[in-house]
Structure 1
Amino acid sequence: MSGSFRVGGEPAGAERMVTEARKAFFVVFGLLAVVWLVQLANFADQYALSRDFGVVSGDLGALPHILTAPFLHWNWAHIESNSGPLFVFGFLAAYRGVARFLGLSLLVAATSGLAVWFLERGDVDTVGASGLVFGYFGYVVVRGLFDRHLIDTLIGVVMAASFAYLLTVAVPGTPGVSWLGHLGGLAGGVLGAWLFRDRRPRAGRTPPAGGDAGPPTARGGVPARADNPRADLHKELGDLGLL
């Protein structure tokens, strides 16, 4: 097992990750709770909130609603279908950093809402959290490639294989579904993975200045190449406390 603290008292990678994951759980749970509280108020008012604060294409007055529409739904079946994926993909998108997740959420809401505002028919009022769902999904699938985190890459592969059917409602032809909002959200998630990518230098890639340090070693003192993907995976598994 890796130690719980590094030199200088800084929490080790596993402890930081657990802390961020705990915060991510409560943030995403809180987001879902707000969505359901808004649904209760919306239902009590016969869905007036959805009619008044949805995104309507070409309507300048409705342009700010790209930030309110994700919290609104048309009926109970609508919110129920979005809630599970919103929590799962939201948590996976947030567990490496809540601040990054909040920035991603604003970006995805904007790209999803703007796709609807510019391209949807003018007589359609669009609401729902599915744009966020598709954005988080796209982010989780490609994040590991941009961050060069092998664990996140594996998560992305599993999510892509398990939920590839979601892409069928991000193309034209599904009645009663805002495929434009889905596609805009998906594009925002992929863009967010690049914009919010981890820019910190990877451990073991940059030699100390003026140093003649020997080759990095894996557990047990076996030399490991710094550019070896298995060395990265070994380190990440160690940070998670799995080695």
Structure 2
Amino acid sequence: MNKSDKRKFFYAILFPTIFVVVVWFIKVIELNLNLSFAEYGIRPREWSGLIGILLMPFIHGDFNHLFNNSIPLLILGSSLFYFYRPVAFKVLFWSIIMSGLWTWISARDSYHIGASGLVYSLFGFLFVSGFIRKHYRLVAISFLVAFLYGSMIWGIFPIDYKVSYEGHFWGMFAGVVLAYIYREVGLKKVEYVWTNEDERHEDDPDAYWNKPLNSPPTNRYNSPINTEIQKEREVVYHYKPKQE
């Protein structure tokens, strides 16, 4: 890894790490002050719950909930900033806004907290974006994300009433939408020159394969010869018969 790659990797993990540290810091303050920030989460269809659209990713129920979100935030977030750096901040911002707003509109009447919606959005974006762009490195990341977090798909179904499956679903949906919106930004499939050349019909008289070939003269070994060189090298033998 050269110096440029090291710098790129450093900045790729920097912001996700800062984000996770801030989330943990908020949880520590909450416990030390014996407070509950859950009421600042999303409360669907309540005007006071709109603030939760921005605050939801920073509030968690307990350390187990926080830890389960921290690892994928670091891995998926770093992947986003490393491979999709030009749109990374936009994807993060709109993931929070879109998933939060749709959760506020359609979810159950309860407080919805946690960064799970953001995690699902990152998962959806990284998985779908690689296949849309068809770049071999990004497709590899799509398969890697599916391998590591493919089981997350069950989180979008109403299996556990304590889990905000609505936030998971809308988070993943937001990631897929953003993958399509930003499909033209960043790495894309490599197209070779010959894939764009106009194909000519076999009967095209101007095609090089339909032009007559002027075959050069050949020698007795049936190989082409250069007539000019042949003239220069031509030798005439005069035979003088032996006189009796």
SS class of match (1:48): coil
CA contact 1:169–1:179 (8 Å) conserved in 2: yes
What is the CA distance between 1:131 and its match in structure 2?
0.6
Distance 1:201 1:139 in 2: 14
Question: 1 CA distance for matches of 2:125 and 2:33?
Answer: 35
> What residue is the counterpart of 1:167 in the other structure?
153
Q: Distance in 1 between matches of 2:129 and 2:100?
A: 22
Structure of larger gyration radius? 2
Match of residue 23 from structure 1: 11
TM-score, with normalisation over the residues of structure 1? 0.72
Identity %: 24
Distance 2:189 2:65 in 1: 45
36 and 18 in structure 1: CA distance in 2 versus 1, 3 angstrom threshold:
same
Q: 2:222 aligns to what?
A: none
Does the alignment pair 1:43 with 2:31? Answer: yes
* 2:137 maps to 1:151: yes
Q: Which residue of 1 aligns with 2:50?
A: 63
In structure 2, what is the Cα distance between the partners aligned to 1:202 and 1:82? 30
Q: Residues of 1 paired with 2:80 and 2:182: CA distance? A: 11
1:150-188 deviation line (CA, Å, top 9, x unaligned): 111111012213322111111122231000000111011
1:111 paired to 2:95: no
The alignment yields a C-alpha RMSD, in angstroms, of 2.5
Structure 1 residues 25 and 199 mapped into 2: Cα distance closer, same or farther (>3 Å)? closer
User: Could you say what secondary structure the match of 1:163 adopts?
Assistant: helix
**CA positional deviation for 1:200:** 6.6
Distance, in Å, in 1 between the alignment partners of 2:116 and 2:65 is 9
Higher relative contact order (Cα pairs below 8 Å, separated by 6+ residues): 1
Shift of residue 66, structure 1, vs aligned partner: 0.5
Check if 1:177 corresponds to 2:163.
Answer: yes
SS class of match (2:61): coil
Structure 2 gaps, min length 5: 197-244
Gaps of 5+ in 1: 5-13, 206-214, 217-224, 228-243
Aligned residues: 196
1:191 CA displacement: 1.2
